[in-house]
């Protein structure tokens, strides 16, 4: 089982975040622009964990070199069933530097968009707090 899959299925936020590169880019299935950076990506993933119920991965597909991975999932958003896939690319250190999600059907994608929209003020606040904490920590190292 892939370490990211294990972390998500265990709802282990620290393990998920540890697998993200600082320069990760998250491409949402419901937002026009990608989200660059570890803090916002981690906060979005925490929001998704709050929104999805009955989440489970049903298939793993990996490249021969292990740097590309696709994890097919099913979940619910409210009472809507959703199918999707997490497409992950790993950098030289084995951290996720590109994270793209696709979902179907359209009605479930719309439900996901609404549910995540309701979470987004909290997501932005969490990302800002993480960024400020990282900045404070790096200032203390100087």
CA-angle at 49, arms to 45 and 50, nearest 5°: 115
CATH tag, 3-120 = 3.10.450.50
Which pLDDT tens digit goes with each residue over 87-133?
999 999 999 999 999 999 999 999 999 999 998 899 999 999 988 87
Which structure tokens are listed for 26? 């998250």
Residue (of 50, 20, 27) closest to 103 by Cα position: 27
In the chain, where are the structural domains located?
3-120
Which structure tokens are listed for 29? 């299935």
**pTM of the predicted protein model:** 0.90
Burial of 95 (0-12, 13-18, 19+ CB in 10 A): middle
């Amino acid at each position: 089982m892939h370490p990211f899959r294990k972390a998500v299925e265990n709802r282990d936020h620290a393990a998920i975040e540890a697998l993200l590169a600082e320069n990760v880019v998250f491409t949402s299935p419901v937002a026009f622009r990608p989200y660059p950076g570890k803090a916002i990506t981690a906060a979005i993933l925490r929001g998704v964990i709050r929104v999805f119920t009955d989440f489970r991965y049903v298939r793993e597909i990996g490249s021969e070199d292990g740097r590309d991975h696709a994890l097919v999932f099913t979940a619910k958003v409210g009472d809507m069933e959703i199918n999707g896939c997490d497409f992950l690319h790993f950098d030289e250190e084995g951290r996720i530097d590109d994270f793209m999600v696709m979902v179907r059907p359209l009605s479930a994608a719309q439900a996901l968009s609404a549910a995540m929209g309701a979470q987004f003020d909290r997501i932005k606040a969490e990302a800002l707090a993480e960024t400020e904490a990282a900045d404070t920590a790096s200032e203390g190292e100087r």
